Amino acid sequence: MLIAGVIALCVVILILAFLFPKLSRHPQQGSQKAFGLGSRGASKAPGKLGHWLSKPFSSSSKMVGKSGSAGRKGRGKMPL
C-alpha cells in the first residue's frame, strides 16, 4: 500500500512539474521533507536496523526528486 502511495505521489509530481514547472517545487520539497523526517526517525533504531528502516524513506525521497526534475526537463525540451 505504501509503495502504491509513493508511486502515485511521483506521478502527480511528474505531471505537475511538466504542466507548471515553477509551482511544482513547493509540493516536491514538502514531500521530500516528509520523507526526510521519516528517514531520520527510523535511523534512530540501533545498529543495522536503523539503516534498514531508513532506507525506504530515503529512496522514496530520491524517487520524488527524480520525477520532479524529469517533468521539468521534459517541459524544457518542448518546442513551444
Distance between CA atoms of residues 57 and 41, nearest Å = 10
The predicted pLDDT at position 52 comes to 95
The predicted pLDDT at position 26 comes to 95
Question: What type of residue is 3?
Answer: I
Distance between CA atoms of residues 80 and 75, nearest Å = 9
Would the CA dihedral through 29, 32, 38, 40 be positive or negative? negative
The predicted pLDDT at position 47 comes to 92
Examine the pLDDT at 80 and tell me if it is beyond 80: no
Contact 21, 72 (CB under 8 A): yes
**Residues 4-61 pLDDT 10s:** 999 999 999 999 999 999 999 999 999 999 999 999 999 999 999 999 999 999 999 9
The predicted pLDDT at position 30 comes to 95
